Amino acid sequence: MINIEEIRTKAAAWLGEEFDEATRSEVKHMMEHDEKALIDAFYQDLEFGTGGLRGIMGAGTNRMNRYTLGMATQGLSNYLKKHASNPSSIKVAIAHDSRNNSSYFAKVAADIFVANGFTALLFDALRPTPVLSYAIRMHGCDAGVIITASHNPKEYNGYKVSWNDGGQVVSPHDKGIIDEVRSIKSVSEIATGGDPSRIVTIGEETDKKYMEEVLKLSINPEIIKRNSGMGIVYTPLHGTGYKMVPDALKLYGFKNVYPVPEQSITDGNFPTLRSPNPEEPDALAMALDLARAKNADLVMATDPDADRLGIAVRKPSGEFVLLNGNQTGALLTWYIISQKKQNGTLKGNEYIINTIVTSDLLDRIAEANGVKSYNVLTGFKYFAELMRDLEGKEKYIGGGEESFGYLPGDYVRDKDGVASCALIAETAAWAADHGKSLWQLLLDIYTEYGLFREKLVSVVRKGAEGAAEIKSLMEGYRSNPPGEIAGSRVVKISDYLVQESADLVTGKKTPLLLEKSNVLQFFLADGTKISVRPSGTEPKIKFYFSASTAMDDVSSFERLWKELDSRIDAVIKDMRL
């Protein structure tokens, strides 16, 4: 229940002299003229989710601004001091994307870190998220921060924290940082006045070392040489990939790379886009137009911080088709595993990682080729955690999640759109070398391992009321779970909040060994899988649907695809989504 008087009291504290004039003016306007905006801005404090601190920019405790960022930075600083072996030599790497205020927020964070006695390694300009992850490892940092809101709309910005392994913070560090942030009762507790000489600029040398690692991922450079003229269109969607992705493709040996000129201009307003999200078909519209004009074979797009990748490929008819995240992940997984197996470089201890809501096709490809496949919760922080646990015991060779994030190498511990672009282009070159397109290669994979169809439905519920509605939906599914959906019996329910999977046919209950998470999965008798989870970074609840069938011949693809489509659509309709 929202207590407006408590919210007004909370907001009134932001009228003090410690806040700048613009902030005080915005808060005063909300208090006098816009109660709903006031509630949304102050009803809660921003917290770390799967992507860290993220929110709409503006004044308020539930907004992204210099003060919420400042408290997060001070809380992180306090936590680092308590856990570093040598607090006097703490180093933190800082990067930012192309969003409005990102450069400013990065400088604010650097100032606070040095005021706490740290050394801040600040990139000389915007950089992709994977480069920040690499920099942490390269420079031996205790932590890292990138100012980004990934693929969210222009109103958003965020603050993503990585630990000393280059991966996003996980338990207990994430909870520990939040506790430190919550212990700060006033912005006056944020340290200021540090030695500016402790802000060290980094850039070109880090980029060079990172690109050397990207090049090492290439499995068949001779095939690229034979297909170096393949046409590739790339759009950074006004973001950080504008330089490094084309550079990586050229480093691999591709000669006909065509960046979309209008979208190669870094701009936090994303003027040519409705949303800077490569998952959205509209985001690739300009790239597709250029691809048709250039007669290119492959279209690629990365989001503003260049950690996610969306692609479009040509069908034999000549028309382009946009692949979903599972399909791109399957192509990358198949290419890495099949080529390492063919080259004799699989030693028997390799593994891949994907999430519990990613297509089971990736598991099937790995297991059929003697490669382990681990499933983790949604969020690349869990990839990094598992990679750290298995370091020196097993060898990570790839992985990804359905939301367009992939990591082809282990030198980075976050999603890597730059390396993924290079390797998917190499996969296309391999396909061309064998007389086929990426689309035809995908159909071959379906024929060998099974046809998988997935759909995602996101239900957006903004603000305090929306958060309450999402909570109520999840509680309803738990207290009164469906016994049947679209005419097919629910045979198993996995609840990651109580960490238990219940077989409704045998009555057997099995513990789920992953960390507690607000995720429910329903398994139907016909093989359909439904996963439900509130987003950790956006005001929405996500429903993931998956159905599969054997596919004996490429010619049956269209018919079987429509059948799986109809099965999933019936489930969506029955769930009233």
DSSP string for residues in 385-414: HHHHHHTTTSEEEEEEETTTEE---SS-SS
**Single-letter amino acid code for the residue at 139:** H
The 10 Å Cβ neighbour count of residue 226 is 13
Q: At which residue do the structure tokens 């949604």 appear?
A: 378
Can you tell me the distance from the alpha carbon of 279 to that of 328, in angstroms, rounded to the nearest whole number?
A: 12
Nearest one of 330, 556, 369 to 454, comparing CA atoms: 330
Render each residue's pLDDT in the chain as its tens digit; 577 residues: 689 999 999 999 999 999 999 999 999 999 999 999 999 999 988 876 555 688 999 999 999 999 999 999 999 999 999 998 888 899 999 999 999 999 999 999 999 999 999 999 999 999 999 999 999 999 999 999 999 999 989 999 999 999 999 999 988 888 888 888 888 888 999 999 999 999 999 999 999 999 999 999 999 999 999 999 999 999 999 999 999 999 999 999 999 999 999 999 999 999 999 999 999 999 999 999 999 999 999 999 999 999 999 999 999 999 999 999 999 999 999 999 999 999 999 999 999 999 999 999 999 999 999 999 999 999 899 999 999 999 999 999 999 999 999 999 999 999 999 999 999 999 999 999 999 999 999 999 999 999 999 999 999 998 888 888 999 999 999 999 999 999 999 999 999 999 999 999 999 999 999 999 999 999 999 999 999 999 866 789 999 999 999 999 999 999 999 999 999 999 999 999 9
Sequence-distant (≥ 6) Cβ neighbours of residue 432 within 8 angstroms: 227, 230, 297
Q: Strand 91-96 vs strand 53-56: parallel, antiparallel, or unpaired?
A: unpaired
Tell me the catalytic residues: 150
Report yes or no: 143 and 162 within 8 Å, Cβ to Cβ.
yes
Are residues 311 and 298 in contact, defined by beta-carbon separation less than 8 angstroms? yes
Q: Please tell me the distance from the alpha carbon of residue 319 to that of residue 6, in angstroms, as a whole number.
A: 57
Q: Which CATH fold topology does 452-574 show?
A: TATA-Binding Protein (3.30.310)
Alpha-carbon span 555 to 132, nearest angstrom: 45
Residues facing 461 on adjacent strands: none
> How do strand 199-202 and strand 156-163 relate by DSSP bridges?
unpaired
Provide long-range contacts, Cβ within 8 A and 24+ apart, for 369-372: 369/337, 369/338, 369/341, 370/341, 370/346, 371/337, 371/346, 371/397
| pLDDT on residue 465 | 85
Question: Which pLDDT score is estimated for 177?
Answer: 86
pLDDT at position 499, please? 97
CATH class of 210-449: alpha beta
Query: Cβ of 491: how many Cβ atoms within 10 Å?
Result: 16
Strands (E), 273-358: 298-302, 309-314, 320-322, 350-355
Q: Where do we find the tokens 């060898």? A: 395
Q: Give the Å distances, CA to CA, from 347 to 48, 230, 340, 341.
A: 38, 32, 9, 9
Q: What is the pLDDT of residue 217?
A: 98
For the chain, domain boundaries: 44-202, 210-449, 452-574
Judge contact between 430 and 223, C-beta under 8 A: yes
* Fold agreement between 210-449 and 452-574: no
Fold of 44-202: Alpha-D-Glucose-1,6-Bisphosphate; Chain A, domain 3 (3.40.120)
Residues 398, 352: contact at Cβ < 8 Å? yes
| Measured distance CA(398)–CA(356) in Å, rounded | 16
Three-class SS state of 218: coil
The percent of the chain in helix, strand and coil, each rounded to the nearest 5, is 45, 20, 35
Distance CA 189, CA 74 (A): 8
Q: Which two tokens stand for residue 210?
A: 């990172």
Compute the distance between CA of residue 357 and CA of residue 369 in angstroms, rounded to an integer: 22
- Report the chain's C-alpha Rg in angstroms: 24
Yes or no: say if 380 and 405 are a contact pair by the CB < 8 Å rule: yes
